[in-house]
């Protein structure tokens, strides 16, 4: 690449790079001359704005944030750079273009965990008319034929896409540590691969792909979770690359806890680390279970969108008071909850759950 370029994008590493002109930047000097500009983490305001401009261009081109922003040989992790921007009242516009320009592709979904018997009560035409685009069907990994296929058959040709909703790190109702149970993890991965390969699903949705609030007790818990999701992503990509006629290009998503900066500590789920391996993220922003209000849905959605590396975030919204009080929410309250998520960058919504 020509040395005269002022700035460039390193395609190999997917990180923003500035070519060094050979003249040492003030950020590398501890000597501050009289009247020198104020520095923030070693950067002048002009340099910060320059980094913002380059990062925004990278996002607009790639649909995600880079891993770091570089000034010469100095590399600033993107998480730290975002804080620098915030300290100056600056920010990157991380609303994906498709959210604003392709609203027809936004996900409006339902989770369905009632089993195939509920199909007798579902009016598919009415769901379609109401704007539902996707359903997420709880799938028994050992019996997808009995728990998933009836929905695929019933919704075939309806225009509503069917995703296999799969429980991960719980077996027979009991949590297991994926780091210490490789046999269970291998079986889980093989089961998911089999479903993705043999059933024409629009997506695979990973649930309970986390620790039960105890991740901090385990070494490398976040990496363990991320590595598993990466493994499934690689497996699905291999199936998609076969371009089998009549078969959906499978989307991978995951149900994530909504505890923002504490998510990794308690659950091993880091939004930014998981995002590269997911087509979209689904934070379960259940205000009733957290004894919160609609404003909390707004702020939580915004935080996760900002940390999703440009990947779409689809907010999971609770349709009832709480797990301890399954009284359905009034329609206007549910509507306001959905709008709170959409106004803060959510790429649609998924309602938990059908039948309530």
**DSSP assignments along 29-57, one per residue:** -S---TTPPP-BTTB-HHHHHHHHHHHHH
pLDDT at 39: 76
End-to-end CA separation in angstroms for the chain: 59
Are the beta carbons of 204 and 250 closer than 8 angstroms? Answer: yes
Mean pLDDT, contiguous 10-residue spans, the chain (356 residues): 33 29 29 56 90 87 79 90 90 56 70 97 94 96 98 97 98 96 98 98 98 98 97 96 93 98 98 95 98 98 95 96 96 94 95 93
Characterize the bridge pairing of strands 170-171 and 8-10.
unpaired
What domains lie within the chain, and their CATH numbers? 8-87 (no CATH), 97-352 (3.20.20.80)
Residues 6+ apart with CB under 8 A from 229: 206, 209, 252, 254, 274, 277, 278
Are the beta carbons of 67 and 15 closer than 8 angstroms? Answer: yes
pTM of the model: 0.74
pLDDT at 24: 29
65: left (phi over 0), alpha (psi -120 to 50) or beta: beta
pLDDT at 57: 87
pLDDT at 8: 29
The CB density around residue 202, as the number of other CB atoms within 10 Å, is: 19
- Pairwise CA distance, residues 77 & 210, whole Å: 25
């Amino acid at each position: 690449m020509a040395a005269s370029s002022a700035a460039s994008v390193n395609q190999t590493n997917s990180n923003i790079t500035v070519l060094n002109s050979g003249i040492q930047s003030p950020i590398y000097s501890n000597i501050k001359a009289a009247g020198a500009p104020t520095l923030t983490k070693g950067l002048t305001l002009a340099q910060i704005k320059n980094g913002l401009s380059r990062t925004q261009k990278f996002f607009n081109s790639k649909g995600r944030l880079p891993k770091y922003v570089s000034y010469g040989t100095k590399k600033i992790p993107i998480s730290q750079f975002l804080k620098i921007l915030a300290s100056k009242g600056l920010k990157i516009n991380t609303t994906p273009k498709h959210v604003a320009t392709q609203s027809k592709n936004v996900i409006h979904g339902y989770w369905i965990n009632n089993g195939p018997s509920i199909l007798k009560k579902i009016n598919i035409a009415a769901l379609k008319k109401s704007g539902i685009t996707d359903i997420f069907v709880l799938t028994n990994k050992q019996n997808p034929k009995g728990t998933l296929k009836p929905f695929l058959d019933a919704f075939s040709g309806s225009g509503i896409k069917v995703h296999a909703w799969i429980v991960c790190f719980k077996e027979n109702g009991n949590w297991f540590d994926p780091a210490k149970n490789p046999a269970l993890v291998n079986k889980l991965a093989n089961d998911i691969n089999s479903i993705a390969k043999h059933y024409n699903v629009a997506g695979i949705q990973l649930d309970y792909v986390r620790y039960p609030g105890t991740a901090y007790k385990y070494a490398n818990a976040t990496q363990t979770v991320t590595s598993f999701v990466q493994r499934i992503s690689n497996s699905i990509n291999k199936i998609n690359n076969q371009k089998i006629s009549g078969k959906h290009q499978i989307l991978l998503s995951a149900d994530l806890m909504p505890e923002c900066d504490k998510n990794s500590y308690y659950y091993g789920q880091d939004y930014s680390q998981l995002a590269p391996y997911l087509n979209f993220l689904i934070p379960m922003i259940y205000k009733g279970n957290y004894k919160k209000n609609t404003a909390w849905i707004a702020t939580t959605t915004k935080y996760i969108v900002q940390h999703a590396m440009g990947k779409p975030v689809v907010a999971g919204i609770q349709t009832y008071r709480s797990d301890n009080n399954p009284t359905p929410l009034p329609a206007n309250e549910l509507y306001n909850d959905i709008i709170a998520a959409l106004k803060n960058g959510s790429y649609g919504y998924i309602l938990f759950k059908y039948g309530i």
